[in-house]
Amino acid sequence: MLGIKNNIMFIRHVLMMVFSNVPRLILSICGLFVGLLVLTTGNILMNSYYDEAMNRACEFSTNNISVLLEADDEFEKKIISDIDTMQVELKRVSMSSESIYSEQYSNGNICSLNAKVVGTTSMDSENVLMKYNENTTIPVHGNLTKGRFINQNDVSKKNNCVVIDEFTASLLFGEEDPIGKKVILGVGNIGMENVSDEDNVVDDEKDNSFTVVGVFDNYQVTKSNQLEYEKFRVVDNGNIVMSTYIYVPYTALDENGFQEDAQDYLIWHYSDNSGYEKGLQVLNDYKTVYSHKYSKFELMTKDDMKSAVKKELRPIKLFMWLILSALLIISGINSMNTMFFSIKERIGEIGIKKAMGANATDIIVQFLMEGIFMAYIAAAMSLIVGGIVAELIGKGIQSMLFINFKVNYSMETVLFTLIVAGIYGIVFSFIPSYYGAGRKVADALRFE
Amino acid sequence: MSTLCVNGNEQPVIEIKGLRKTYDRKRYVLDNLELKLYSGDMTIIEGKSGTGKSTLMNVIGLLDDFNEGTLCIDGIEINKKTKRKYSIIRAQKIGFVFQAYHLIEAISVKENIMLPFLYSNINVNNDIKQRYDKIVTDLGLGELENKKVALLSGGEKQRVAIARALIKDPKIIIADEPTGNLDMENTKIVIDVFRKLREMGKVIIIVTHDISIATSDDKRFYLKEGKLMLC
């Protein structure tokens, strides 16, 4: 082993040799850079897509348990009383959507907004629930920005009140304060924005007007609809139908006959782990005993949703990794070629160093260190450029395809790139280094 | 077979017996060579171009293999078993001065001179720094320390190569045309350095066409048809 001072001298010497020939350095880094750029950009985009999907699916409080149930009221009451009557929230979601808005644009295209009406008990918590599979969506609510949520008083008095999201409020009411305004369900013919009309196909027996008492912000739904709406205004692509969720007291739904094909969700909100664990245990027992009896008895926790998302995204991730790996290998082979030529050019230098007492290992270590150092320069460049490219691609996806895509950067991406760069530098420098180290001293000196 | 023993009683630093070297198995460049060199010997080897002088230097300096015979360097027999130690022996015992200088052009004079320490377990301490200062002063390289080798003249490069050979205080110094590119003044400086080293007990082997640098105390050999002949 060399002494510490000698090691420092050696490292300094390696760095000097790396920078001694700038054209050679640039050529070597270019090959490494391309591979690492593709890896970094691909990784950022893939993680962003993954995070986006996970966020959509898993904006779910850790201490919530959700049960999707198709059963009679007696059974629902039994479960509720067995577990916890205090923490439970009922959501009754109609399977069909109600039209609440319609607009005809100057080119004749029609934009409609349909709402899944969610009957609920009081919305005390600000949890957002959404299952990844859109065939069985769970209603969403988010942070309150105006007014209030549905409360126990609304439920007991069967008030026709409604809580809507920010996009819906801006679409229906523009700049005006939506609190106190009316949303009418089942309307939405051309030119009939939120106004009851004899010519509408509205069931006269239903009171289909609901007063807005609150507005909430749900990033996912709002952003998607905003993009959809922008696309409608910018691209002549025919009619569009957007969808959202609105919340009314479930008793008002029952009263007005909107619950004919509704599905019930029971959601338990826990503030502590022990209650959560106990509740989960009881529900699992219920599922074991009763799931064969009822056509729908699904239990969902945050972990369940995450697993479902991961399972769906796994093939996509695997496919992307295959492509990235192939590109990385091709780029690595190119780098190896460049390194080979570089070492061949320096055979004389190898001969001199061996004459001075270097052995084959010293030569290999020197060139491996050079390869790793150049790989890390390429990694730093790829992280900066990759981040910019990913951001541009994300913006392009949003502006050209009107798809909500937010680019996320994480320390994980940085560490991953740095680790891969190190391995890359070692693997694709080793063979050229080994070749160089194997030259006979006299032959190498003659080469110069 | 030529048998040449110089000095009588002490252990030779370099001992060669029946050494043969060929590149193509048809003609032997070195043919049954025998040589013994002791501490304090300054040996001049002459010969026409292509007679194998550089090959002999490379073999003695463990830069190249030989096909038959024995070679001992400072008591260590050189054979296939000791092949792994070549680099250590070179690092510890042998200093080289090449005809083509073989310096690393991209780095400075100082870096080139100190290059042998990159592959050595010896820490660069004050003694070594003092040695460096003395060698640089003796060879007139003081003002060129931080200059890139690529910017030096042939004579300056030769002096740097000599400094590099001396920096680790080796027992054996092998020099191939060390004064080839030097003027008379610098030639004298270099030869004076070698003579001082000889007085310190070093073994100096010089390949040269310049017979004027030899004195009566030096051993002169002529290499012809693979054999060494005493001049």
CATH code for the domain of B188: 3.40.50.300
Residue A196 has pLDDT above 50, yes or no: no
3-state SS, residue A272: coil
Chain A residues inside the 8 Å CB shell of B110: none
Tell me what ipTM this predicted complex has. Answer: 0.88
Evaluate the CA torsion angle A229, A233, A234, A236 in order and state its sign: positive
For residue A442, give the nearest of B63, B117, B120 by CB distance: B63
Residues of B with CB under 8 A from a CB of A: 58, 61-64, 84, 87-88, 90-92, 96, 98, 100, 102-104, 106-107, 111, 114-124, 164
Q: What is the pLDDT of residue A189?
A: 40
- Distance between CA A42 and CA B124 in Å, rounded? 48
Residues of chain A positioned with their CB less than 8 A from the CB of B63? 354-355, 441-442, 445
Residues 6+ apart with CB under 8 A from A11: A369
Distance from CA of A367 to the nearest CA of B (A): 14
Q: Which of B64, B84, B90 sits opposite A357 (nearest CB)?
A: B90
Average pLDDT over residues A74-83: 76
Per-residue model confidence (pLDDT) at position A256:
65
Q: Which residue has the tokens 């009619």?
A: A239
For residue A356, which residues of chain B lie inside 8 Å, CB to CB?
90-91, 96, 115-116, 118-119, 164
Return the beta strands (E) in A282-322 as ranges: 297-300
Whether the predicted pLDDT of B3 surpasses 70: no
Which residue is associated with the tokens 């054979």? Answer: B79
Mean pLDDT score of chain A: 79
Is B8 part of any domain?
no
Set of chain A residues whose Cβ sits within 8 Å of the Cβ of B118: 2, 6, 9-10, 13, 353, 356, 358, 362
Tell me the nearest-neighbour CA distance from A357 into chain B, angstroms: 4
Which residues in chain B have their CB less than 8 angstroms from residue A447's CB? none
The pLDDT, as a whole number, for residue A417 is 92
Across the interface, whether the CB atoms of A3 and B61 are under 8 A apart is answered no
Q: Tell me the pTM.
A: 0.72
Overall residue count recorded for chain B in this entry: 231
Hey, of B101, B104, B124, which one would you mutate to test binding to chain A, going by the most A CBs within 10 A of its CB? B104
- Does B117 reside within a domain? yes
- Position B44 in a domain: yes
Number of domains in chain B: 1
Euclidean distance between CA atoms B52 and B33, whole angstroms? 12
Question: Hey, which residues does A214 pair with through a beta bridge?
Answer: A147, A163
What is the per-residue pLDDT for B50?
A: 84
Asked whether residue A201 carries a pLDDT value surpassing 50, the answer given is no
Q: Range of B96's domain?
A: 14-230
Residue A356 and residue B63: Cβ atoms within 8 Å? Answer: no
| Chain B CA closest to residue A7 | B118
- Find chain A residues with C-beta within 8 A of B92's C-beta: 357
B62 contacts B16 by C-beta, under 8 angstroms: no
Q: CA-nearest residue of chain B to A448?
A: B102
Per-residue pLDDT reduced to its tens digit, A278-309: 888 888 888 888 777 777 777 777 777 777 77
Query: How close, in Å, is residue B29 to chain A by CA atoms?
Result: 15
Buried b (16+ CB within 10 A) or exposed e, B212-221: ebbeeebbbb
Long-range Cβ contacts of B75-82 (<8 Å, 24+ apart): B75/B11
Band the pLDDT of A207: cuts 50, 70, 90: low
Least confident of A80-94, B72-86, B104-118: A80-94
- Over residues A25-64, the pLDDT tens digits come to 898 888 889 889 988 998 898 888 887 777 666 656 666 7
Please state which of the ranges A71-80, A175-184, B20-29, B220-229 shows the lowest mean pLDDT.
Answer: A71-80
B6 located within any domain? no
Instruction: For residue A353, give how far its alpha carbon lies from the nearest alpha carbon of chain B (Å).
Output: 8
CA distance B159 to chain A (A): 16
Whether B121 shows a pLDDT value over 90: the answer reads: no
B99: which chain A residues are within 8 Å (Cβ-Cβ)? none
Residue B1 counted as domain residue: no
Angstrom distances, CA of residue A109 to CA of A88, A273, A401, B21: 44, 52, 19, 94
**CA A45/CA A434 separation, integer angstroms:** 37
Side-chain-side CA neighbours of A267 within 13 Å: the count stands at 31
DSSP string for residues in B103-160:
--TTSBHHHHHTGGGGG-S----HHHHHHHHHHHHHTT-GGGTTSBGGGS-HHHHHHH
Nearest to B119 among A16, A21, A356 (CB): A356
Say yes or no to pLDDT of B144 above 60: yes
**What φ, ψ does residue A443 adopt, rounded to 5°?**
-65, -40
Q: Which residue in chain B has the smallest CA separation from A21?
A: B106
**Using CA atoms, how far apart are residues B46 and B222, in angstroms rounded to an integer?**
5
> What is residue B19's three-state secondary structure?
strand
In whole angstroms, give the CA distance from residue B33 to residue B19. Answer: 5
pLDDT digits (tens, 9 = 90+) for A364-401: 999 999 999 999 999 999 999 999 999 999 888 877 77
- Best mutation target, A1, A4, A353, A356, to test chain B (most B CBs within 10 A): A356
Residue A135 has what pLDDT? Answer: 47
Cβ separation B64–A354 shorter than 8 A? no
